[in-house]
Amino acid sequence: MTGRPYVEELVARLRLDGGEVEVRYGGRQAADISFADSRVPHRVVLRTAEPQLAAAVELLGAGCRDDLWPDSSVTGAGFNLLLVHVDEVVGSRDTTDPLLITADGLQWPR
């Protein structure tokens, strides 16, 4: 346990498909989470910090739970939508640089 429950939950959810997920923790509750995806030739890196990830998950969940996952908690719905966004970005955008998750959610590369 690292005292970063939102980062730990994101890592656990990324591991559900059986893929290898690595985490590098830094100061100020930062984390770089990397994983392989068969659609790209490199590891995808998600860069965030616990407070920003928590804010993003709660914001996303509050906005989508009732319509998309009414049987889930706000937090659960937020993680679900965040992972949908990650999947869409990996499948459609340049992911050679780290993808940032801020308090507003996943920042899509141009």
Query: Each residue of 12-22: pLDDT tens digit?
Result: 999 998 889 99
- Over 80: is that where the pLDDT of 1 sits? no
Query: What are the tens digits of pLDDT across the range 44-81?
Result: 999 999 999 999 999 999 999 999 999 999 999 999 99
Give the per-residue pLDDT at 48: 98
pTM across the whole model: 0.94
Q: Cβ–Cβ contacts within 10 Å for residue 58, how many?
A: 16
Largest CA distance in the chain: 37
Dihedral pair phi/psi, residue 95, rounded to 5°: -120, 25
List of residues 6+ apart from 91 with CB closer than 8 A: 39
At 22 the pLDDT is 97
Q: What are the tens digits of pLDDT across the range 23-34? A: 999 999 999 999
